């Protein structure tokens, strides 16, 4: 039986990832019935998350939506504000994004973001350590305004949750590939040993979706 070599390209802005794979003649005939020349790359289902595909999709989203001049923000906690669980850390991110959204609305801009959470975890005790967050943002407000949102309370009761660091994204010869690799390949602490772990990330729904051609 004859076989064919196929090329699958995933496009995200100027960035392209290429896969080469082979198919039998029977597979090719069957596939032709449903194959579209160009279609969006779908996000891996969260309830059956494939780590490799999830990381790839996250990288493609980054390349398609963030570039030179946008923000790369790191958010850490002071000792007294450290969340006890990743779920509580997620609430801090949600509050941070709500505050940001209000600031973007004031300048008639739509916020676009991706956030990533990393932490050390002892599965015996459930103790979370060194939790912190990274955010990619479109540049529409000042870095001071961005960093002011990492807080809780209002007025005299408002206080910072910890330290913030906002950087302007500066691509190199490979674009933002180094940053994309860093954000999708962090490790977490499991049973007191460094191991590759599930990447916790999410994004706004208004991001441009990467597409695939064959």
Lowest mean pLDDT among 44-58, 106-120, 164-178: 44-58
Work out the number of other CB atoms within 10 angstroms of the CB of residue 10. Answer: 20
Cα–Cα distance between 162 and 95 in angstroms, integer? 14
Question: What's the predicted TM-score (pTM) here?
Answer: 0.74
Contact indicator for 118, 132 with CB cutoff of 8 Å: yes
Per-residue confidence band for 38, with pLDDT thresholds at 50, 70 and 90:
low
- Say if residues 138 and 70 touch (Cβ distance below 8 Å): yes
H or E segment and range at residue 187? strand 187-190
Domain ranges of the chain: 3-58, 64-207
Distance between CA atoms of 132 and 101, rounded to whole angstroms? 21
Task: State the pLDDT confidence band at 144, using cuts at 50, 70 and 90.
Answer: very high
The predicted structure's pLDDT at residue 106: 96
């Amino acid at each position: 039986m004859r076989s064919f070599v196929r090329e699958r390209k995933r496009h995200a802005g100027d960035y392209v990832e290429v896969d080469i794979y082979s198919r039998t003649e029977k597979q090719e005939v069957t596939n032709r019935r449903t194959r579209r020349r160009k279609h969006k790359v779908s996000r891996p289902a969260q309830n059956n998350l494939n780590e490799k595909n999830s990381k790839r999709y996250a990288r493609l989203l980054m390349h398609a939506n963030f570039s030179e001049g946008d923000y790369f923000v790191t958010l850490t906690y002071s000792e007294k504000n450290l969340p006890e669980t990743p779920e509580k850390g997620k609430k801090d991110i949600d509050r941070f994004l709500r505050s940001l959204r209000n600031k973007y609305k004031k300048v008639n801009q739509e916020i676009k973001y991706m956030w990533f959470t990393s932490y050390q975890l002892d599965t015996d005790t459930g103790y979370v350590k060194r939790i912190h967050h990274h955010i990619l943002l479109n540049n529409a407000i000042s870095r001071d305004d961005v960093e002011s949102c990492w807080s809780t309370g209002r007025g005299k009761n408002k206080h910072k949750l910890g330290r913030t660091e906002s950087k302007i994204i500066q691509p190199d010869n490979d674009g933002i590939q180094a940053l994309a690799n860093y954000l999708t390949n962090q490790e977490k602490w499991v049973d007191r040993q460094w191991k590759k772990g599930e990447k916790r990330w999410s994004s706004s729904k208004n991001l441009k979706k990467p597409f695939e051609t064959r």
